[in-house]
Amino acid sequence: MGSEFARTLAAVANSYSGNPRGTRIGATPRAARAIPQTPRATEEVADPTVPRHWVDHGIHRRRALSALVLSATGSSDQLDPHPDLIRAAKHHGEPTAQSCPWCRSEALVLLRYVYSDELGPFSGRLRTEPELREWAVQFGFLDVYVVEVCPDCKWNHLLHTYVVGDGRQRSPRRAPADLLE
């Protein structure tokens, strides 16, 4: 699962500029980027800030760690991330209290990527926990992917995914006039 997520993240990162929060210059046309999705059914949500549809990828993480230990070569998909992922970890990562599972460094950080049709051209960007709580009451469905990254040894793995939002589908945001395509 880690390598599959790394390939997906690399494909997304290749369509953006070096700054995950910046303007996309030279990106692929919107029609080529769009992934057709079926509209989601309306959900009754008591508290939109509470994550739901939680998927924990801990088993995949343990399997990836054991494969690294068995191979002991130091080369793997978990230690060979896209440069934009490492750059995002250095500049936008949220520090954790845990150490890196591979090198035991204290530099382990979390990245939260948010995807939604409702975000329009702003889908796939990094957001912090406070921003997610604020957006949860403004949007219906925000898919959040939490990735742990160690900038020192380049360990990266998808920790878990979840959905926040009030459960009512909204139309996508329009691209601002100054967004370069």
pLDDT tens-digit map of 119-137? 888 899 999 999 999 999 9
Structural domain boundaries of the chain?
Answer: 2-18+46-164
Q: What is the pLDDT of residues 48-71, one digit of tens each?
A: 777 777 777 777 777 777 676 545
* Helix (H) or strand (E) run with residue 112 in it: strand 109-115
CA distances from 117 to 95, 101, 168, 170, 178 (A): 29, 34, 12, 9, 20
Three-point CA angle 135, 38, 115, nearest 5°: 30
What is the amino acid identity at position 24? Answer: R
Between β-strands 125-126 and 142-149, what pairing exists: parallel, antiparallel or unpaired? unpaired
The dihedral through the CA atoms of 49, 53, 56, 60 has a sign that is negative
**pTM here?**
0.61
